[in-house]
Amino acid sequence: MNPDTPAQLAHTWSDRPGLIGWLTTVDHKRVARRYLVTAFVFFLLAGILALLMRTQLAWPELRLIGPDRYNQLFSLHGSAMMFLFAVPIMEAIAVYLVPLMVGARNISFPRLNAFSYWVYLFGGIMIFGAFLLDVGPETGWTGYVPLSGPEYSPGKRTDFWAQMITFTEVAGLCVAVELVATIMTMRAPGMTLARMPLFVWSMLITSLMVIFAMPAVMLASTFLITDRLVGTQFYNAAEGGDPLLWQHLFWFFGHPEVYIIFMPALGIISAIVETFSRRTIFGYTAMVLALVTTGFLAFGLWVHHMFATGLPPMGNSFYTAASMLIALPSGIQIFCWIATLATGRPRLQVPLLFVLGFFALFVLGGMTGVMLAAVPLNVQVHDTYFVVAHFHYVLIGGAVFPLLGGFYYWFPKITGRMLSERLGRWHFWLLFIGFNLTFFPMHYLGLIGMPRRVYTYQEGLGWGPYNLLATIGAYLMAISFVLMIANAWRALRRAPTAEADPWAAPDLAWAVASPPPAYNFAWTPVVESRHPLWADANGEPRQTLPVLTGVREDRREVLLSSPVDAHPTSRWAMPDPTIWPLWAALSLSVLFVWSIFDQWGVVWGAIPVAITLTAWFWPKPSEPSLGEP
Q: Which of residues 397-436 bind other proteins (CB under 8 A)?
A: 425, 429, 432-433, 436
**Could you say which of 87, 135, 336, 477 contacts other proteins (CB under 8 A)?**
336
Residue 610: other Cβ atoms inside 10 A = 12
Residue from 371, 479, 504, 573 touching other proteins (CB under 8 A): that is: 371
Q: Are 224 and 561 in contact (CB under 8 A)?
A: no
Please give the full DSSP string across 438-494, using - where no structure is assigned: HHHHHHHHHHTTPBSS-S---TTSS-HHHHHHHHHHHHHHHHHHHHHHHHHHHHHTS
**Do 524 and 551 touch, CB atoms closer than 8 A?**
yes
Q: Which stretch binds other proteins (CB under 8 A): 114-122, 328-336, 490-498, 501-509?
A: 328-336
Binder of other proteins out of 455, 481, 592, 616 (CB under 8 A): 455
For other proteins, give the closer residue by CB, 342 or 610. 342
Q: Does 536 bind other proteins (CB under 8 A)?
A: yes
Segment interacting with other proteins, rule: CB under 8 A, options 213-221, 234-242, 388-396, 512-520: 234-242
Shortest spacing between CB 159 and other proteins, in angstroms: 17
Smallest separation, CB 70 to other proteins (Å): 9
Q: According to CB under 8 A, which residues from 459 to 498 bind other proteins?
A: 461-462
CA–CA distance, 475 with 438 (Å, rounded to integer): 9
Cβ proximity of 532 and 508 under 8 Å? yes
Q: Which of 219, 292, 374, 472: binder of other proteins (CB under 8 A)?
A: 374
Q: Considering only residues 254, 267, 344, 568, which one is a binding residue for other proteins as defined by CB under 8 A?
A: 344
Q: Verify binding: residue 457, other proteins, rule CB under 8 A.
A: yes
Q: Which is nearer to other proteins, 421 or 598 (CB)?
A: 421
Residue with smaller CB distance to other proteins, 3 or 312: 312
| Listed ranges 199-207, 252-260, 331-339, 621-629: which one lies at the site for other proteins (CB under 8 A) | 331-339
Cα 431 to Cα 38, 43, 422, 480, distances in angstroms: 22, 15, 14, 5
Q: Which residues of 488-512 are buried (b: 16+ CB within 10 A; e: fewer)?
A: beebeeeeeebebbebbbbbbbbbb
Q: Which of residues 55-74 bind other proteins (CB under 8 A)?
A: 66-68, 71
The DSSP element (H or E) to which 569 belongs, if any, is: strand 568-573
State the binding string over 263-292 for other proteins (x if CB under 8 A, else -): --------------xxxx-xxxxx------
The minimum distance between CB 429 and other proteins, in angstroms, equals: 8
**194 sits near other proteins (criterion: CB under 8 A):** no
* CB of 110 or CB of 369, closer to other proteins: 369
Count of residues interacting with other proteins (CB under 8 A): 99
117 closest CA partner among 579, 575, 585, 519: 585
Neighbours of 392 (CB within 10 A): 21
- When asked if residue 456 is in the footprint of other proteins (CB under 8 A), the reply is yes
Q: Which of 14, 41, 156, 242 binds other proteins (CB under 8 A)?
A: 242
140 in contact with other proteins (CB under 8 A): yes
Q: From 218-226, 302-310, 488-496, 550-558, give the range in contact with other proteins by CB under 8 A.
A: 302-310
Look at residues 268, 293, 522 and name the one whose alpha carbon lies nearest to residue 410.
268
Would you call 560 helix, strand, or coil by DSSP? strand
Q: What angle do CA 269, 141, 397 make, to 5 degrees?
A: 20
Distance (Å, rounded) from C-alpha 627 to C-alpha 629?
6
CA-nearest of 31, 124, 37 to 79 is: 124
Q: Please identify which residue in 88, 357, 398, 416 interacts with other proteins, judged by CB under 8 A.
A: 357
Measure the CA–CA gap between 24 and 279, rounded to whole angstroms: 41
In angstroms, what CA-CA distances link 179 with 26, 97, 172, 219?
15, 10, 11, 23
Stretch that binds other proteins, among 91-99, 262-270, 291-299, 325-333 (CB under 8 A): 325-333
Q: Is residue 377 within the footprint of other proteins (CB under 8 A)?
A: yes
- Smaller CB distance to other proteins: residue 144 or 594? 144
Name which of residues 435 to 454 contact other proteins (CB under 8 A).
Answer: 436, 440, 443-444, 446-449, 451-454
Question: Crossing angle for the helix pair 157-185 and 67-79, nearest 10 degrees?
Answer: 10
Q: Which one of residues 1, 132, 238, 495 is an interface residue with other proteins (CB under 8 A)?
A: 238
Q: Nearer to other proteins by C-beta: 120 or 393?
A: 393
User: Which residue in 197, 596, 258 sits closest to 395, CA to CA?
Assistant: 258
Quote the CA–CA distance of 100 and 182 in Å, as a whole number.
11
Could you say which of 20, 194, 289, 321 contacts other proteins (CB under 8 A)?
A: 321
Cα Rg of the chain, angstroms: 24
